[in-house]
Amino acid sequence: MKKRTFLITFRMLAVVALILTSRQLQAQTDDDALMMAKNNLCVGGTYSHSSWNYYWEGTYHRNNQNLGTVTTKMVSLMGIYGINRHLAVVAGAPYIWTDASSGVLHGMHGVQDLSGWLKWQPIEQRIGANSKFSLFALVGGSVPLTNYLADYLPLSIGLHSRTASGRVIADYQLGHFFMTGVGTYTWRSNITIDEQSYYTTSFYETNQVQMPNTTSWLFRTGYRTNRWIVEGLLSDMITLGGFDIRKNDMPFPSNRMNALMAGAHVKYEFHSKPLKGLSLTADGNYTITGRNVGQATTIDAGIFYIFDFAHKAKTGETPTLKTR
């Protein structure tokens, strides 16, 4: 029977807002080469604003007038505590708002995932008079704090997977210049969605979705003193498996989401009263290329304060350059 059809979009097309999970704790925390002093607690918050109007549907770069510009705003709270000079814990959680400027879809908002890291610095070695090599090992994990919708991309606030990660950071400092390399492997738990079936590259009748694991790489380099950090970043997130969004389909939590991003980070730490212990951060980030993600531009600003519970003021001493 000759049958031609016209088409609807039941659910408007779209894509993942941005790589929420990999960058949400970025200020000076789980992926830099800084350590806290013993019994110091750093608490702070960041506000970030991320938006895109182009995205990759698989490898196809497109926009979507039924979404317009997709914006994600995020307020993150985090804390870092130095157990000793070589071991710290990091924890944080964001509140996220999503919105699409065009089309009919309703945005979402809510508390996303609690992330935690244990950061250990097993090697800190001076090389000659003016340079130093450090190695860090981290384990971390995240759990959703609320029962938010995962299968509502690109406007869901996260993927609702539990994660466990291992990370290695290598850092070389020469005078005030440094280079840091970061490698991460993240295991992601399967998720349960509200639907009873879905299609990836084949048809599933279950509410369980297999989530592919991810790796990410980050390279950062720049200028670092006890007051200033000014650096450039290049990061690459790679999903190990997953599938491409089909032409004009909706995105799905188990898509192969890849993103190569470039950015910059600036931090200033006050060292004299009355602002001693306070630091301010600013970041910018741009997605150069990706797959099944939005081409996001992100800016954020943060404010942090260090409480010294050890009561041993180390004036003018940045945690970065401490040596034994």
- The residues that touch another protein, with contacts defined as CB under 8 A, are 1-12, 65-66, 83-87, 102-107, 118, 120, 122, 137, 139-141, 147, 149, 151-152, 164-166, 187, 189-190, 193-199, 202-206, 208-211, 246-250
- Contact between 236 and 190 (Cβ < 8 Å): no
Nearest to another protein of 62, 271 (CB atom): 62
Nearest to another protein of 1, 129 (CB atom): 1
Minimum Å distance from CB 218 to another protein?
Answer: 20
- Considering Cα of 184, then 188, then 193, then 196, what sign does the dihedral take? positive
Minimum Å distance from CB 280 to another protein?
Answer: 30
Nearest to another protein of 146, 225 (CB atom): 146
Element (DSSP H or E) covering residue 273: none
Q: How far is CA 235 from CA 67, 93, 179, in A?
A: 27, 21, 14
- Contact between 150 and 191 (Cβ < 8 Å): yes
Nearest to another protein of 211, 261 (CB atom): 211
Nearest to another protein of 236, 249 (CB atom): 249
Q: Name the nearest CA neighbour of 56 among 13, 102, 9.
A: 13
Minimum Å distance from CB 252 to another protein?
Answer: 8
Q: Residue 321 gets which letter from DSSP?
A: G
The amino acid at 61: H
Q: Say how many Å lie between the first and final Cα of the chain, rounded.
A: 82
- Contact between 279 and 304 (Cβ < 8 Å): yes
Minimum Å distance from CB 223 to another protein?
Answer: 29
- Contact between 263 and 235 (Cβ < 8 Å): yes
Minimum Å distance from CB 152 to another protein?
Answer: 7
